Amino acid sequence: MTGAEAGASVEIVDVSKRHGEVVALDHVSLSIAPSECLALVGESGSGKTTLLRSINRLLDPDAGTIKIDGRDTRSVNAVALRRAIGYVPQDGGILPHWTVARNVALVPVLQGMPDATSRAEQALAAVGFEANTIGPRWPHELSGGQRQRVAMARALAAGQRLLLLDEPFGALDAITRAELQRQLKNIRERTRPTTVLVTHDLREAFFLADRIAVLREGKLEQVADPATLRSAPATEYVQRLLAYADVAS
Amino acid sequence: MQPTFAVHAQSHAQSSQRPVVVASKPFGESFILAELFAQMLEARGLKADRRPGLGATEVAFAGVRSDAVDVYPEYTGTGLLAVLHEPPQRDPIAVFNRVSTEFQSRFGVRWLPPLGFENTYAIAVRRETAQRYSLATLSDLARAAPQLSAGLTADFIERKDGLPGLRGAYGISFRSVRPLGQAVKYQALASGAVDVIDGYSTDGFIARYDLVVLRDDKRFFPPYEAAAVVSARLQREQPAAIAALTELSDRIDVATMRKLNARLEVNREPVDAIARSELIALGLTATKTGQATPAQAKSGESFAQYMWEHRATLGAAVVRHLLLVSVALLAGILVAIPLGLWLDYAGRAAEPVIRTIGLLQTIPSLALLAFMVPLIGIGVWPALIALWLYSLYPIVRSTYSGVRDADPNAVHAARALGMTPGQILRQVRLPLAAPTLLSGIRTAAVIAVGTATLAAFIGAGGLGEPIATGLALADTRLILSGALPAAALALIVDALLAVVERATTPAPLRHAAAERKREASRR
């Protein structure tokens, strides 16, 4: 993946996945355009995290295909695939025994980039940190919001063109969450990575996403831009979901 | 502690021969007899390799049966009851014939002709009691018993071949029976606190307190004649050794043995000096001129002086101890860490495997050591294997749980960002598991230092040797001279590994731990 300018395209075709008896994904098809931000929303167990993790092959679907920039992900080595895709889990997943700088340089180092250190510094700057001050610090010295910003920097330090966010702000207080949402929006405007955002929070989805995919029991209920979703909920479930989240028109 | 002395001058013709492994069981009389065997062999130009104080009958017999030991002193009654598991018999000749034919045909082990004394249960009284009630036999005792109080070992009071049997055979019924420990029995009798005690017929204290042993006129107690028991290998390879050992047959009577035991247990003379003077007295070896008489144990000297005088022996024991521990521990680490990692990988097999290894930990150390003897013989190897087995569980367990429980969020993120399983293991899970893993190794090391003291019972040396000998001779100073360094060693090893543990703990984890501690103290 070359320039950080454009995002990657993602094509999800007829993907199904079972966890034992439970159907996590039931014939899901979805296209994500380059640089688009797609939010996956739904209740716990709706399959949104399973779908997200299928994209970087943390899970392999039982059936169906996922293509990134037109290439079937199964034709790519899973490790190489993951190194090309940014990932931010809810808890940040910062390695506790590494400094912030080393954490952020993780993927550039894995990819053998000679400028790994300066990339890490730039990535830290991109999330609003003073790289020299924050770099040498240990993860346990950071606040929850700082950790998520470090995790975001780490996800983008190697110039990833696709960003997977798994409830990235779910554990933060309301003010910090709002700050980080704004920051993510800024980053997206600057480097335009394609973004898949799993969230419980419909307000967050409305604020950040170009389109919202509502999942229920492994099936897609509706995929639409926020305005359409609001004006024309496809199902009663979507309507209820919007009402509960207090974002209905 | 092994007595050391110069090899006798006669040794030339057979000096190229393999040394004869002479073992004993862990009590005074067995030490003396084994030393007599060893010096007898050396006097006839053979070499002797001394392994005093082997665990017990099982260990010593297993040693001679597996050719790891060439000769050790045993008692016919023990052979009959403890090895052949046959009921006791009364006739000493019948018992000797039975054990010698059975041992030869079943195990290829040979009993040499008896040494000339029995060490069986003995009922003893003070000389003035014997005179007052005119007691010479146990039948006499039956008459006087209602006026006498007895102090008997708890074991003897319960055993069928103890007091209950005695009551049946002679109709002995004491005025009172008090259970008394081995150590205080003789003093209790001498001071008049009790009138009758049980003991062993060759106990040195019988001579020391001038006691009268009542004759077992109905031959109630099974005969325990002492004799040398010889391995098949020695019979095959070194007939000269058999001939030398046979020279002792029928030369040591019960009075002599009592005196020798008293010299060791009462006067605390060194075993080698006792054996040397006895062989000269028996006319079996010539008087050596110019040979310094070994110093008698000075009872007045302080413990510190004693330790200082024996620093060379103790130093060697410490070195041997540390070698046993470090080799076993290193082998344990080399096996247990990969095993722990593999178990993490293997998933469901892990818990059953770890629990099975944990079962090893529940085998009493002495039993495990004894179990090793028939398989591997005696000496350093079985001890190393036993110590190694004990080291596995703490290290496997700590490796497995350390790696498994390493910060799951960090591990998940590492995988999601494209680290390979190997990278995750080396760069994330192992560093995070290091403190847990190190504490497992630390536990294993401290256990090993303690357990290694038992290695002496299978002839592996170390700090257990003075402990085992001291226990056998009821010599507190000797026990402490092994036990204190062993305890100190355990503390030192623990402290050193604590430093290593700190050093290998990733700095931020250390800070985090320190912070938690500070916070806890603030509350």
Does any CB of chain A come closer than 8 Å to the CB of residue B418?
yes
* B8 pLDDT higher than 60: no
Q: How far is A83 from chain B (nearest CA, A)?
A: 5
Q: Using the beta-carbon criterion (under 8 Å), do B507 and A80 form an inter-chain contact?
A: no
Q: How far is A33 from chain B (nearest CA, A)?
A: 22
A to B CB pairs, distance under 8 Å: 73
pLDDT at site A224: 94
Which residues on chain B are in Cβ contact (under 8 Å) with A164? Answer: 416
* B6 pLDDT higher than 90: no
Which residues on chain B are in Cβ contact (under 8 Å) with A94? Answer: 410, 413
Collapse the DSSP code of A27 into the 3-class scheme (helix H, G, I; strand E, B; otherwise coil) and give the result: strand
Q: Using the beta-carbon criterion (under 8 Å), do A96 and B432 form an inter-chain contact?
A: yes
Residues 6+ apart with CB under 8 A from B156: B121, B162, B163, B198
For the segment B420-449, the average pLDDT, to the nearest whole number, is 93
Mean pLDDT of chain B: 87
pLDDT at site B360: 86
Distance in Å from the first CA to the final CA of chain B: 55
Q: Using the beta-carbon criterion (under 8 Å), do A83 and B412 form an inter-chain contact?
A: no
* B10 pLDDT higher than 70: no
Which residues on chain A are in Cβ contact (under 8 Å) with B508? Answer: 96-97, 138-140
Q: How far is A232 from chain B (nearest CA, A)?
A: 36
Q: How far is A134 from chain B (nearest CA, A)?
A: 15
* B72 pLDDT higher than 60: yes
Does any CB of chain A come closer than 8 Å to the CB of residue B519?
no
Which residues on chain B are in Cβ contact (under 8 Å) with A138? Answer: 507-508, 511
Q: Using the beta-carbon criterion (under 8 Å), do A82 and B515 form an inter-chain contact?
A: no
Chain segment B79-126, per-residue pLDDT in tens: 998 889 888 888 899 999 999 999 999 999 999 999 999 998 889 999
pLDDT at site B300: 61
Q: What's the DSSP call for residue B80?
A: I
Q: Which of B290-299, B323-332, B437-446 has the lowest mean pLDDT?
A: B290-299
Name residues 57-96 of chain A within 8 A of B (Cβ).
58, 79-84, 87, 89, 91-96
For the segment A137-153, the average pLDDT, to the nearest whole number, is 93
pLDDT band at B289 (very low <50, low <70, confident <90, very high): very low
Strand partners, B151: B178, B197
* B347 pLDDT higher than 70: yes
Which residues on chain B are in Cβ contact (under 8 Å) with A155? Answer: 417
pLDDT band at A249 (very low <50, low <70, confident <90, very high): low
Q: Using the beta-carbon criterion (under 8 Å), do A81 and B418 form an inter-chain contact?
A: yes
pLDDT at site B42: 94
Listed ranges A74-88, B254-268, B362-376; the one with the highest mean pLDDT: A74-88
Q: How far is B449 from chain A (nearest CA, A)?
A: 33
Chain segment A24-81, per-residue pLDDT in tens: 999 999 999 999 999 999 988 899 999 999 999 999 999 999 999 999 999 999 999 9
Find the DSSP H helices in chain A: 48-55, 78-83, 100-104, 106-110, 116-126, 131-134, 144-156, 174-191, 202-208, 226-231, 236-245
Q: What's the DSSP call for residue B456?
A: G
Report the C-alpha gap between B429 and A116 in whole angstroms: 23
Which residues on chain B are in Cβ contact (under 8 Å) with A91? Answer: 409
For the segment B135-164, the average pLDDT, to the nearest whole number, is 89
Of A84, A96, A138, the CB nearest to B407: A96
pLDDT band at B459 (very low <50, low <70, confident <90, very high): confident
Name residues 424-463 of chain B within 8 A of A (Cβ).
428, 431-432
Position B117, amino acid: F
Chain segment A107-126, per-residue pLDDT in tens: 999 999 999 999 999 999 99
pLDDT at site A248: 57
pLDDT band at B288 (very low <50, low <70, confident <90, very high): low
pLDDT at site B458: 84
Please give the share of chain B, as a percent, with pLDDT higher than 90.
54
Q: Using the beta-carbon criterion (under 8 Å), do B418 and A80 form an inter-chain contact?
A: yes
pTM of the model: 0.73
Report the C-alpha gap between A247 and A74 in whole angstroms: 38
For the segment B362-384, the average pLDDT, to the nearest whole number, is 82
Of A82, A97, A139, the CB nearest to B417: A82
Q: How far is A153 from chain B (nearest CA, A)?
A: 12
CA distances from A236 to A200, A242, A243, B31 (A): 18, 10, 10, 94
Find the DSSP H helices in B44-152: 57-65, 76-78, 92-107, 127-132, 138-144
